[in-house]
């Protein structure tokens, strides 16, 4: 029987120890946030009832759709919902059209009902604005335009954004988005298409 040298024996022992002392498996990654907007499929056409109410044109009821989300990170301290028209151009700048911004929602909130009422401050202490004022602004792309892309975004933050609305809704959005930088720990997006019926 071949004898092992002390060095060989120690090497084999070390290999066996390493094999048995494997690092513990990493915990599974937390599931990503998922956003759902009721009434149309992601990437589908937004129903007219959720569009802007406007005199003299085919228009909807100006109702906000029911929105829900899941898998909010456990470290979240607040939530922000942002809706915008990707084709909308404001004052010849790169800024898109603001259709809805709701911020400082509690991290335990999992959705918003259909037809959120007008008002800068909602009952839960969160705030809302749009280009129309302190209210949801439905899609309103003209019938002559190609379909516009409307994006709904939900953000989970590791902080609270306590900025109050100002007279200039776009200034308010700029301040909220700036305050969010470096604090986003979760996000989900849902899109819809719209233009007014002929």
Q: What is the pLDDT of residues 75-106, one digit of tens each?
A: 999 999 999 999 877 766 667 999 999 999 99
Q: Indicate whether 21 belongs to any domain.
A: no
| Owner of token pair 């004022």 | 133
Q: Is residue 110 part of a domain?
A: yes
pLDDT tens digit sequence for 93-146 = 667 999 999 999 999 999 999 999 999 999 999 999 999 999 999 999 988 999
Full residue range of the structural domain in which residue 39 is found: 26-194
Query: Rg of the Cα trace of the chain?
Result: 25
pTM of the model: 0.84
Q: Examine residue 18 and state whether it is found in any structural domain, yes or no.
A: no
What is the DSSP track for the chain? -PPPPHHHHHHHHHHHHHHHTPPPPPPPPPPPPEEEETTS-TTEEPPGGGS---TTS-----PPPPEEEE---TT--EEEEEEEETT---TTSS--EEEEEEEEE-TT--EE-SSPPP-SB-TTS-EEEBTTBSS-------TTSPPEEEEEEEEEESS---PPP-SSHHHHHHHHHHHHTT-EEEEEEEEEEE----
Specify if 11 maps to a domain: no
Quick check: is 144 in a domain? yes
Residue with token string 């979760």 = 186
pLDDT tens by residue, 169-191: 999 999 999 999 999 999 999 99
pLDDT at 15: 53
**Does residue 47 lie in a domain region?**
yes
Any idea what the CATH number is for the domain that residue 104 is in? Answer: 3.90.280.10
């Amino acid at each position: 029987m071949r004898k092992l040298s002390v060095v060989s024996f120690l090497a084999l022992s070390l290999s066996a120890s390493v094999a048995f002392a494997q690092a513990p498996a990493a915990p599974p990654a937390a599931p990503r946030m998922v956003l759902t907007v009721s009434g149309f499929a992601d990437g589908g056409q937004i129903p007219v009832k959720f569009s802007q109410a406007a005199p003299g044109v085919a228009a909807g009821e100006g109702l906000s759709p029911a929105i829900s989300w899941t898998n909010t990170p456990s470290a979240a301290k607040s939530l922000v919902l942002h809706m915008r028209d990707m084709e909308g151009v404001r004052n010849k700048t790169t800024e898109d059209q603001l259709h809805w911004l709701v911020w400082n929602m509690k991290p335990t909130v999992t959705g918003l009902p259909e037809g959120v009422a007008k008002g800068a401050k909602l009952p839960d202490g969160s705030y809302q604005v749009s280009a129309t004022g302190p209210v949801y602004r439905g899609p309103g792309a003209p019938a002559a335009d190609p379909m516009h892309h409307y994006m709904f975004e939900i953000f989970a933050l590791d902080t609270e954004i306590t900025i109050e609305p100002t007279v200039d809704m776009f200034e308010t959005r700029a301040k909220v988005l700036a305050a969010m930088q470096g604090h986003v720990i979760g996000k989900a997006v849902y899109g819809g298409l719209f233009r007014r019926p002929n």
